[in-house]
A = this chain, B = another copy of it.
């Protein structure tokens, strides 16, 4: 393989070797993009990934000025002169025209992103919790300040879903969005099934691989997926839901028995976050689900994420890509930085459509959530009394052995909210 390249001109060789863009503007023929100086907050997994990816992108007009970190004693992979421990060194330094926020603490992030946007600076963030919990706040601020706030890496890792919802589905009536939005829990489910690992061992491997949040409970409980679902819902349907409005049951109680149960039925367990229209309302939830091995959601393995969008005319579209990891997430951040160089802003078209002369009361958007229906569920329990909270309308299967007990039943959706926030030993999985 490989032939002589003597016939290639130098120009051709450069292009073949680099394959990188000139960082020109979005408008053909124009060239008004500027060189960005980035003030970076956070140098964890994603921050370091961004640093690598940015250093290997020869054509993007952006460089990292200072990096603000918290821990003074941690050994860093690059020289200490790159770092500061004072937020203000970045926030009050005028040469940083772009703030990239990649820290863990959502409250601290909210404060520094808000401050930066108020000063008219562009901001890129990957902080799904912060964005989901403060969506209306940021939406109002952006309407007022007209600066760029991009956060593609906050949803679906490397999948360009927010921009696709913004730009491609802007006039499409959507029916549903569902997907696997947490790479760490998907990694655990895949490892348990394909490598026969226990839940604890699989989770440990996810942490060692750098896929898990610093508090892995956020991953496995479906909380992280819920944040992402809130963000997608705003861009896709123009609804601002709070994370607390949404039911999330996770995989924290899953066992090898459940994996084996799925396997014997030629199914797999996946943690699915979704919103779908139900008349004038929406069914919204994060729940483990038995999926077929041949449907798209069932082929998404390890730290991959996927998103299925269904539109009335465009029909069913499917996107997948790595949902965790330093470089894939770093490359999503890089893509936002590149978009900032030509002043790209989200249009928030579906939200803006609701502003007819006056600002709607977004705080009541939870009223759009349909809760009056039954779900067919597999429920494995250790103590039958734990089922009492649930509104079980019909049991269609019941199993008990010396070691395991489960039922398959139709359960009132509302009653599942009673499980939130209280520890239990139930593993619940949607079974349609």
* A contact set with B: CB distance below 8 Å: 1-3, 5, 7-9, 11-30, 49, 52-53, 56-57, 59-60, 142-144, 146, 152, 158-160, 163-164, 166-174, 237-239, 277-282, 293-296, 299, 306, 311-322, 325, 327-328, 330-332, 334-335, 338-339, 343-350, 352-354, 356, 360-361, 364-365, 367-368, 370-373
The answer to whether B315 touches A11 (Cβ under 8 A) is no
The answer to whether B159 touches A22 (Cβ under 8 A) is no
User: Which of these, B293, B317, B344, contacts A158 with CB under 8 Å?
Assistant: B317
Q: Which residues of B contact A152 (CB under 8 A)?
A: 168
Q: Which residues of B contact A319 (CB under 8 A)?
A: 317-320
- Bound-state CA distance A8–B280 (Å) is 10
The answer to whether B172 touches A331 (Cβ under 8 A) is yes
The answer to whether A372 touches B3 (Cβ under 8 A) is yes
The answer to whether B320 touches A315 (Cβ under 8 A) is no
A-B pairs with lowest CB-CB distance, top 3: A21-B349, A317-B321, A313-B331
Given A23-B349, A152-B168, output 8 extra A-B contacts at Cβ < 8 Å: A3-B371, A15-B239, A21-B238, A21-B353, A28-B143, A293-B294, A315-B321, A317-B322
Chain B's nearest CB lies how many Å from the CB of A297? 10
User: Which of these, B29, B315, B349, B361, contacts A22 with CB under 8 Å?
Assistant: B349
Chain B's nearest CB lies how many Å from the CB of A23? 7
The answer to whether A360 touches B23 (Cβ under 8 A) is no
Q: Which residues of B contact A158 (CB under 8 A)?
A: 314-315, 317
Q: Which residues of B contact A295 (CB under 8 A)?
A: 299
User: Which of these, B28, B52, B332, B352, contacts A345 with CB under 8 Å?
Assistant: B28
Q: Which residues of B contact A17 (CB under 8 A)?
A: 280
- Bound-state CA distance A27–B172 (Å) is 19
The answer to whether B168 touches A2 (Cβ under 8 A) is no
Q: Which residues of B contact A339 (CB under 8 A)?
A: 167
The answer to whether A171 touches B57 (Cβ under 8 A) is yes
Given contacts A8-B280, A27-B347, A354-B11, contact A19 B313 (CB under 8 A): no
Q: Which residues of B contact A9 (CB under 8 A)?
A: 360-361
Chain B's nearest CB lies how many Å from the CB of A320? 4
- With most chain B CB atoms within 10 A of its CB, the pick from A170, A282, A331 is A170
Q: Which residues of B contact A49 (CB under 8 A)?
A: 313
When C-beta atoms are compared, the residue in chain B nearest to A313 turns out to be B331
The answer to whether B318 touches A21 (Cβ under 8 A) is no
The answer to whether A28 touches B171 (Cβ under 8 A) is no
26 A-B residue pairings within 8 Å (CB atoms): A1-B278, A1-B373, A2-B370, A2-B372, A3-B370, A3-B372, A5-B280, A7-B364, A12-B367, A19-B173, A20-B172, A24-B352, A26-B344, A27-B347, A30-B146, A52-B313, A53-B313, A159-B317, A163-B167, A168-B335, A171-B335, A295-B299, A313-B328, A315-B321, A316-B322, A318-B318
